[in-house]
Structure 1
């Protein structure tokens, strides 16, 4: 079935949520996790790196998952503090962990296409990029039909021609402002210090974290568990990234 025919069918079965998907807009939510002032609109080829909201705001994003060893605990931490995040899903890992993808969606988090095989896209043709992104989204939708996928993130930040392709498919290219280099260490003390310090220094930032199975991610999860309540006590809130570039 072609992409256009799949979209037409989904529009019939779930008009509200999928109308938002076709427009490239994640539906607003009453809990503040949806599009806010200065956000929303159709996808563009600009790579977003902030929430574009004022004050003590940050967006948490997690790449390369889901991971059966660490993602369940991460979901518990986020639920405990009523924080919504963006999960950038790796297609090969999605295929191995469909129940976790369902849990992510059921918990109200936002999905991001992170390609099928986590390859460097910098030298790919637009046609090859499009085929990969469409295949990844189709796989996700086999598991969670109708779930919006409003963002795309290129592995390694190697964008190449992918931003325009993603925008044409209704997905906003999603970069980041802050990272804690959790691929270098899983020492929770080090990661918590980095996360807390760097978020405070960058109000409005999109934060890059990882929950994928390439390595143990328990340190990342523990750092998030420590830092969220500390930041919330200072008046910080967690929101989606911008949707306009």
Structure 2
């Protein structure tokens, strides 16, 4: 994948997002730019991912996602209430008690996501993975593994755009297509989403709620996208740890070997310090 410097300069991206968000949104929470995702080639015609790709591709009506009745994946007789439309994302999850919430954005990526899942499994810890649809098309098996092992699979848009710059139909398409891939892969629609770059606007809150999702930001930014060194990532996590804290890391979008190595170090330290590693109820 291309390196982060192939994007417009970080300051330029954030300046654009800030201006658009100020004009159309109540909040702009700056996440740092990640490595851009290249357009994903069409997946092979055969295999478990092919059905999911076909269902969320150009031939499907992504704009109708969740405007139609709940699919057969939902238990019979269960009607999920739509969450309220928020004016800002949740930053922490204090209802989880003395726990820290670990989150990983931009995946799944076969180079790093399996190692992260293995480390979490070894410590019997659960995390939240905010996946991009164009990555999930070829990673349905990884999404299923996340769900089967008790992790939360959240929505991080289809192609990681700056949401405040999009028309309402594009926001719905970005979120709707990704939710559809997640539901086809795991059997459940996502209940959480995170805006790319942390750039939210009123329409994203409205459409997210319409799709049955709550917006989640973070309280601890590891800055792992900068590849600052394993020790730096570990230090940021430990310094920001507190009950309900939400830690932002990445499992795709560049070289994430430092993110994996850091998790291997800070996860047991958090547990030794008496923190639970929890996720909200699904």
TM-score class, shorter: 0.7 to 0.9
Q: CA 1:170/1:54 → structure 2, altered by over 3 Å: closer, same or farther? A: closer
Contact 1:59 1:205 in 2 (8 A): yes
Which one scores higher on RCO, CA 8 angstroms, separation ≥ 6? 1
* Residue matched to 1:35: none
Q: Does 1:150 align with 2:208?
A: no
Question: Residue 231 of structure 1 is aligned with which of 256, 270, 275?
Answer: 270
Q: CA 1:43/1:100 → structure 2, altered by over 3 Å: closer, same or farther? A: farther
* Residue matched to 1:209: 249
* Residue matched to 1:27: none
Contact 1:122 1:159 in 2 (8 A): yes
Q: How big is the shift at 1:114? A: 0.5
Query: How do residues 1-245 of structure 1 correspond to structure 2 at under 5 angstroms?
Result: 2-4=64-66, 7-10=69-72, 14-15=74-75, 19=78, 22-23=80-81, 42-45=83-86, 46-53=88-95, 56-144=98-186, 146-160=187-201, 161-185=203-227, 187-199=229-241, 202-212=242-252, 214-240=253-279
Q: How big is the shift at 1:241? A: 5.2
Larger radius of gyration: 2
In structure 1, runs of 5+ residues without a counterpart are 25-41
1:96-153 per-residue CA deviation (whole Å, 9 max, x = no partner) reads: 2222112111111101111111111012233321122111111222322x22411010
Q: How big is the shift at 1:82? A: 1.0
| TM-score normalized by the length of structure 2 | 0.71
* Residue matched to 1:34: none
* Residue matched to 2:55: none
In structure 2, runs of 5+ residues without a counterpart are 1-60
Name the stretch that deviates more: 176-185 or 156-165: 156-165
Q: Distance in 2 between matches of 1:49 and 1:63?
A: 15
**Alignment: residue pair count:** 218
Q: CA 1:9/1:148 → structure 2, altered by over 3 Å: closer, same or farther? A: closer
1:34-56 per-residue CA deviation (whole Å, 9 max, x = no partner) reads: xxxxxxxx354241111123753
Q: CA 1:166/1:8 → structure 2, altered by over 3 Å: closer, same or farther? A: closer
Q: How big is the shift at 1:157? A: 0.5
Q: Distance in 2 between matches of 1:75 and 1:183?
A: 19
1:51-94 per-residue CA deviation (whole Å, 9 max, x = no partner) reads: 12375321111000011011111001111111111100101111
